[in-house]
Structure 1
Amino acid sequence: MLGQQHARFVDETAALPIEEIVDRIATLSEGLAAFWRNAEGWAPDDAAQLLRSARLDRIASLAASLRRWTDGAPLSDGDLILAWANLGALLEGALKLFLTVYLTDYRADETTKETRAWHIKRQMLQDPDELMLDTILDYAEKAGLLAPQQLALGRTVQARRNAIHAFRDRDLGTDAELFAAIRDFRALLWSLDGRMEYPEERFRPTERPSLR
């Protein structure tokens, strides 16, 4: 189901230029930040508190920064490294937002004990804002929260963004692979937005109202 939805979301915008995809990511990210950083009275108290302290504004700013890498100029190795790091921060932020919105469910899920989300030494569950991307992806896979394509995107972005540790030789991919990952991320973000609950549909952030 999630896999079919993700494929449909990618196909819907396949003909759009990458600049338009980035604009949609930026618009949706701004809307998500605007609603969820002021979620008191809607989200449970613990979740609302975590969301209030989260820097959702910076995630929205990072979404706008994707425009730096899609202006039509070929990307240098340094640009590719920074672009993957940019996309990785957005991916991690989107997944942390989703887990925090559903904090009550996350804390009650015994699957967390099969992952590093469960701190063995302290014998306690770490909140989403404490998790590394690898742990989030591991939990999402075990809990069935993401489609196979979405997990594959996460692993690719995770590996490529690690090239920020530039002393070691790592695969940077190509401009085309980066742009394909950005398109996949747009579909993932759109999917996560659709799975989060809002008081009324008019409060739901959107990239383009006509698409929902």
Structure 2
Amino acid sequence: MGEIRNTIASNYEVEYTFAGKRVYLIVMRKAFAMTETYREIINNTNRILDEWKNSSYGIAPTSVSEKFDNTNIELCKSLTNVLGIWIEKDIFLTDGELILANVNMGGIVEYWLQFFYTVYYEEYIDAPIYRKNNIIEPEDTMLKQLQDYSVGILWEETDSIYKWVDYLRVCRNAIHPFKKRDYGTPKDFLDGVNRLDELIRLIDSRLPDLAY
């Protein structure tokens, strides 16, 4: 009995070991926690993006406000809402759904990093990412570039969140199906939802005040 209780308290270690109700209890316990985390992701996404879209003029540098005029905030919100489709499927994601879920997640992560360097555009432009001696604007950067550029700013290479972004990038590339690629497991994706929540909170904690 003690072993079963410990199993129920620990995520998905033995989903298929027991039959019937015990498996159902394990899944539902995790699903409830995931729903709470996802709700926080949606709430924080709407709050932060709306705040910067609506309040940056007159407070943030003009270069930053002008950048936000061309930022597709509503699409990021929509992609975040779509994430719920994959979360609801839980550990029962098919391979195709898992790959699409990783693409969805990767797009959101890329957006948040672009958003961060847009907020800090004045600092970014002093030491930007280059491609063939040409400056790459934050909105034109790719996930790998942002991941490496953020070392020493948002994370270190030894940090778990850096390693997660790196693995997510690899899994996202499985959208190109001809070659066999690693795209993780449904559990990896669900764990990534917690990492996404962590990333958004990290970025939020580093943003400057928009108070008048």
Query: Deviation per CA, 1:39-90, whole angstroms, max 9, x where unpaired?
Result: 2112211111111211011111111111101114500011101100010001
CA contact (8 A) 1:118 1:124 kept: yes
Change (3 A) 1:37 1:162: same
Give percent identity, aligned residues only. Answer: 26
String of CA shifts for 1:83-128, please: whole Å, max 9, x gaps.
000100010000000010001111113xx4xxxx2132xx332110
The TM-score normalised by the length of structure 2 is 0.78
Asked if residue 28 in structure 1 is aligned to residue 44 in structure 2, the reply is yes
**Bigger shift: residues 28-37 or 81-90:** 28-37
Higher relative contact order (CA 8 A, sep 6+): 1
- Matched with 1:45 is 62
Deviation for aligned residue 1:177: 0.8
Shift of 1:16: 6.3
> One-letter code of the match for 1:145?
L
Aligned-partner SS, 1:166: coil
Distance 1:182 1:88 in 2: 11
- 1:127 maps to 137
Runs of 4+ in 1 over 3 A off after TM superposition: none
Q: CA-atom RMSD, angstroms?
A: 2.0
Q: Once the 2 structures are TM-superposed, how far is the Cα of residue 198 of structure 1 from its aligned partner? A: 2.1
Shift of 1:172: 1.7
CA–CA distance in structure 2, aligned partners of residues 89 and 177 of structure 1: 17
Q: Describe the SS at the equivalent of 1:70.
A: helix
- Structure 2: 5+ residue runs without aligned partners? 1-29
Q: What is the CA-CA distance between 1:15 and the residue it aligns to?
A: 10
TM-score w.r.t. the length of structure 1 is 0.78
Counterpart CA distance in 1 for 2:108 and 2:179 is 24
1:182 matched to 2:198? The reply is no
Q: How many residues are treated as equivalent by the alignment?
A: 179
The correspondence for 1:138, drawn from 130, 136, 148, is: 148
**1:57 — aligned with what?**
74
5+ residue gaps, structure 1, are: 1-13, 204-212
- Measure the CA separation in 1 of the matches of 2:140 and 2:76: 16
* Equivalent residue, structure 1, for 2:120: 102
Distance in 1 separating the partners of 2:71 and 2:53? 7
